[in-house]
Amino acid sequence: MQSILPLPTQPVKPGTSTGQVFWQADKAKTVDSYSPADGQLIARVHLSTRADYDRVVETAQAAFAEWRLVPAPRRGEIVRQMGEQFRRYKRELGTLVSYEMGKSLQEGLGEVQEIIDICDFAVGQSRQLYGLSMHSERPAHRMLEQWHPLGVVGIISAFNFPVAVWSWNAMLAWVCGDVCIWKPSEKTPLTALACQQIIGDVLRNNDVPEGVSCLVTGGREAGEWLARDPRIALVSATGSTRMGKAVAEAVASRLGKSLLELGGNNAIIVSEHADLDLAIPAIVFGAVGTAGQRCTSTRRIIVQESIYEDVKSRLKNAYAQLRIGSPLDESFHVGPVIDMATVAQYQAAVNEIREQGGRFVVEPGILDGLGFESGCYVRPCIAEAENSWPVVQRETFAPILYMLKYTTLEDAIRQQNNVPQGLSSSIFTLNMREAEQFLAATGSDCGIANVNIGTSGAEIGGAFGGEKETGGGRESGSDAWKAYMRRQTNTINYGTTMPLAQGIAFEL
């Protein structure tokens, strides 16, 4: 493994980003980061204690008092400089993402590109934190609505997008005047530390107050500190539905704000009017990209019965060409899954599919031998199944694709919607009526609904997120910035009388 950022030889310490580290080294516990690519230990990262956490929150609160006074376009300029830093280190950080998380190098580079894109977006947004003006019903009164910074934002992120999800939240939160405490996945702590290091110079060179960007390491417990802490104005949590339910409950019990980005169970409807030359590559990338570990991975395809056999044989041919191996070697299409626990979940799902009577169109398997020493490489597989089976209804975070059949479009949409999750969906059809039916209020119930492109690979310009058990949150583009600010309605009387709203009479 070469040409990574200068990697630390000592355990790395979390804390705030500009050099002052809050750490009680004598009580240190560490988490070991292993690469699923080759099973090697990459780094040993210190875990934050509760005392470290409290000091980080206090520093963040003090930083917020100053940062919210910095004009938004000036905050945007600092985010612009961060974008430049990520451009500079794109190759190195993308390689580290690929090595620590296991996604292909192309996808690792793509993830860093997402950071760069959201930086650019946030810079523009910093001059567009628009409020509204309304006409008052009272004479000589003016009404308006404005947006103020919210406070300390806690960001809990998942392993599968170890850096991009943080940036979607942090870059917008910063231009909105908030400060951030990031709790990355315990499976990918090193990429988080690398991000802090990359932006450290920008923060220092601009005299940004210590505590605008903070990092807390740890697992579930550290996430719970954020969820339960009334000092955290917004908890933005990305991960499993199980985690999201726990966070939602903890935050709601203190009447805090949460933004939830949880699991998906994404389907592609393949109509008899589809251009299969578009559909097949989109299905294959959606199902096997990131070894099936994207929240938007394609998990189900719902195929019109008249083309079902044709789609099946084309997919079989396409899967036969897939090359599995090291994510850093660009000649391979599919890398490893994150860890052995995920391999076990893959195997459990495969067993369940067989018990239910499912038939494999492309056989599953766990790879061993030369190049697969980490034990984390599995074969992407396709199973013929029924939508109602429990294994199909839940998200297995691995490259397993279910093939389902439909007769009418209504039936296809019913199957597509009939799962607990509601993240991403798409239809392949050249028939305009079908496409519009899919996008109509009676069509897909997901946060993302696409036509003639797959379920995965969102651009940062749109609002990203989903309905039902996906959590309802929206991040990234469109007006997602509003989640990071507080709304204030103002009514100003510039007249000489005191009329009451609704014409209520009150005389002294």
Looking at 17-25, 72-80, 180-188, 438-446, which segment touches ligand NAD (CB under 6 A)? 180-188
Phi first, then psi: give them for residue 223, nearest 5 degrees. Answer: -65, -40
Nearest-CB residue for ligand NAD: 223
What is the closest distance, in whole angstroms, from the C-beta atom of residue 158 to ligand NAD in the complex?
3
261 an active-site residue?
Answer: yes
The site map against ligand NAD for 231-250 (x = CB under 6 A) is: -------xxx--x--xx---
Query: Which two three-digit tokens encode residue 200?
Result: 């450290």
> Is residue 107 at the binding interface for ligand NAD, with CB under 6 A as the rule?
no
| Residue closer to ligand NAD, measured from CB, 311 or 349 | 349
What is the closest distance, in whole angstroms, from the C-beta atom of residue 396 to ligand NAD in the complex?
10
Amino acid at 7: L
> Is residue 23 at the binding interface for ligand NAD, with CB under 6 A as the rule?
no
State the catalytic residue, choosing from 261, 395, 434, 469: 261
Q: Are 366 and 347 in contact (CB under 8 A)?
A: yes
Kindly give the residue spans of alpha helices, DSSP state H, lying in 293-430: 308-320, 340-356, 390-393, 409-417
Q: DSSP string covering 2-49, please? A: -S-S---SSPB--EETTS-----GGG--EEEEE-TTT--EEEEEEPPP
Find residue 475's DSSP bridge partners: 464
What is the closest distance, in whole angstroms, from the C-beta atom of residue 141 to ligand NAD in the complex?
43
Site for ligand NAD in 285-314 (CB under 6 A): 295
Looking at 98-106, 258-266, 273-281, 354-362, which segment touches ligand NAD (CB under 6 A)? 258-266
Kindly give the residue spans of alpha helices, DSSP state H, lying in 184-299: 189-205, 220-228, 241-253, 276-288
Kindly give the residue spans of alpha helices, DSSP state H, lying in 361-451: 390-393, 409-417, 432-439
Looking at 203-211, 216-224, 369-377, 378-386, which segment touches ligand NAD (CB under 6 A)? 216-224
> Is residue 158 at the binding interface for ligand NAD, with CB under 6 A as the rule?
yes
> Is residue 377 at the binding interface for ligand NAD, with CB under 6 A as the rule?
no
| Residue closer to ligand NAD, measured from CB, 13 or 183 | 183
- List the one residue from 178, 261, 434, 469 that touches ligand NAD (CB under 6 A): 261
Looking at 21-29, 89-97, 121-129, 152-160, which segment touches ligand NAD (CB under 6 A)? 152-160
> Is residue 160 at the binding interface for ligand NAD, with CB under 6 A as the rule?
yes
Amino acid at 400: I
- List the one residue from 19, 71, 124, 219 that touches ligand NAD (CB under 6 A): 219
- List the one residue from 470, 472, 474, 476 that touches ligand NAD (CB under 6 A): 470
| Residue closer to ligand NAD, measured from CB, 224 or 352 | 224
| Residue closer to ligand NAD, measured from CB, 96 or 227 | 227
Site for ligand NAD in 418-437 (CB under 6 A): 423
| Residue closer to ligand NAD, measured from CB, 16 or 241 | 241
Alpha-carbon distances, residue 79 vs 169, 182, 275, 372 (angstroms): 12, 17, 42, 40
What is the closest distance, in whole angstroms, from the C-beta atom of residue 253 to ligand NAD in the complex?
13
| Residue closer to ligand NAD, measured from CB, 290 or 374 | 290
Alpha-carbon distances, residue 44 vs 186, 190, 378 (angstroms): 11, 9, 27
> Is residue 220 at the binding interface for ligand NAD, with CB under 6 A as the rule?
yes
What is the closest distance, in whole angstroms, from the C-beta atom of residue 262 to ligand NAD in the complex?
5
Residue 481 CA to residue 28 CA, distance in Å, equals 37
Helix (H, G, I), strand (E, B) or coil at 366: strand
What is the closest distance, in whole angstroms, from the C-beta atom of residue 338 to ligand NAD in the complex?
7
Alpha-carbon distances, residue 30 vs 73, 94, 159 (angstroms): 39, 24, 18
Helix (H, G, I), strand (E, B) or coil at 326: coil
CB neighbour class for 183 (10 Å; exposed up to 12, middle 13-18, buried from 19): buried
Looking at 28-36, 158-166, 348-356, 382-390, which segment touches ligand NAD (CB under 6 A)? 158-166
What is the closest distance, in whole angstroms, from the C-beta atom of residue 476 to ligand NAD in the complex?
9
> Is residue 156 at the binding interface for ligand NAD, with CB under 6 A as the rule?
yes
Residue 329 is given by DSSP the state S
Residue 437 CA to residue 433 CA, distance in Å, equals 6
Residue 336 CA to residue 121 CA, distance in Å, equals 32
Residue 118 CA to residue 109 CA, distance in Å, equals 14
> Is residue 159 at the binding interface for ligand NAD, with CB under 6 A as the rule?
yes
What is the closest distance, in whole angstroms, from the C-beta atom of residue 226 to ligand NAD in the complex?
7
Q: DSSP string covering 110-178, please? A: HHHHHHHHHHHHHHHHTT----EEEE-SSTTEEEEEEEEE--EEEEE--SSSTTHHHHHHHHHHHHTT-
Q: Please identify every residue annotated as catalytic.
A: 261
Name the residues that contact ligand NAD, by CB under 6 A.
156-161, 165, 183, 185-186, 219-220, 223-224, 227, 238-240, 243, 246-247, 261-264, 295, 395, 397, 423, 470
